[in-house]
Amino acid sequence: MKRFLIASMSIAVSVTAFAQSMPPREPAPVDTVSVTGNARVTTTPDRFSFNVSVQTISPTVEEAVNENNGKVAAVIAALKSAGAKPEEIQTSNFSIYPQQDYSQQQQGKLPRLLGYQVSNSITVTKKEIAGAGKLLQAAIGAGVNQSSGLSFSVSDPARGRDEGLRAAFADARAKATLLAQAAGRTLGPALAITEGGGVSNPQPRPFVGGRVMAAQVTSEVPVESGSEELAFTVSVVFAMR
């Protein structure tokens, strides 16, 4: 009897050792289909930004800077009076360039200095799009003589995100379902999802930039914000049964 028990234990230990020495079985491969879904969501901008400049030219640097400083101070004061807060007004560029006459350079003469040009640019960024025209009117009336344009944006990047991502995933699932059916299979669950992110495609009707000639009375600038289109992309890997 003891010999039988010892033999049985030896067999059990051998089987266990053999099982432990066997490499683990790899899971059976899963057939998959990879697709990309796209969606677009249209939103209404709620923030605007424009850049205006005051440019002055005088015989000396001091005269050009002093004249420019006075005009820029008047523009900033006018913007504040029209409703812009101090944190919404930012100096975005300041430059000084010599103005030279190169007409006699071909005769071997050095360029002749005519004076100095000073330019000071101000960027205004604000919500309440309805006030954009009034602020532009105030800036032009106060002495602005150059503008680089007007743009619109959505202040909250999450606006439209949920709707866009759901729609992009639904588009991906529809494509994957069609491909699975074409292969004679049925679509399984999503195994991996990668977000491509949202891309903004603004479609405003902007204020055209360039030099501004201020009249004695400046009328309010007509402003239309248009719409902004956000594009979303997701890449999804689905299992196929």
Q: Using one digit for the tens of pLDDT, what is the confidence trace for 132-183?
A: 999 999 999 999 999 877 899 888 878 889 999 999 999 999 999 999 999 9
Asked if residue 211 is part of any domain, the answer here is yes
pLDDT recorded at residue 209: 42
Does 197 map to a domain? no
- Establish if 68 belongs to a structural domain: yes
CATH code of the domain covering residue 150: 3.30.70.2970
User: What distance in Å separates the CA atoms of residue 51 and residue 94, rounded to the nearest whole number?
Assistant: 13
How many domains is the chain partitioned into structurally? Answer: 1
Identify which has the larger pLDDT, 34 or 156. Answer: 34
Confirm whether 198 is domain-assigned. Answer: no
Give the pLDDT band (50/70/90) at residue 226: confident
90-135 per-position pLDDT tens digit: 999 999 999 998 887 777 778 888 999 999 999 999 998 888 999 9
| pLDDT band at residue 28 under the 50/70/90 scheme | low
| Whole-number Å distance between alpha carbons of 26 and 225 | 58
Domain encompassing residue 137: 46-101+111-155+206-223
Output the pTM of the full model. Answer: 0.65
For residues 228 and 42, the answer to whether their CB atoms sit within 8 Å is yes
**Does a structural domain hold residue 88?**
yes
Choose among 70, 47, 201: nearest CA to 124. 47
- For residue 12, is it within any domain? no
- pLDDT of 26 > 70? The answer is no
Q: Is residue 160 part of a domain?
A: no
Examine residue 16 and state whether it is found in any structural domain, yes or no. no
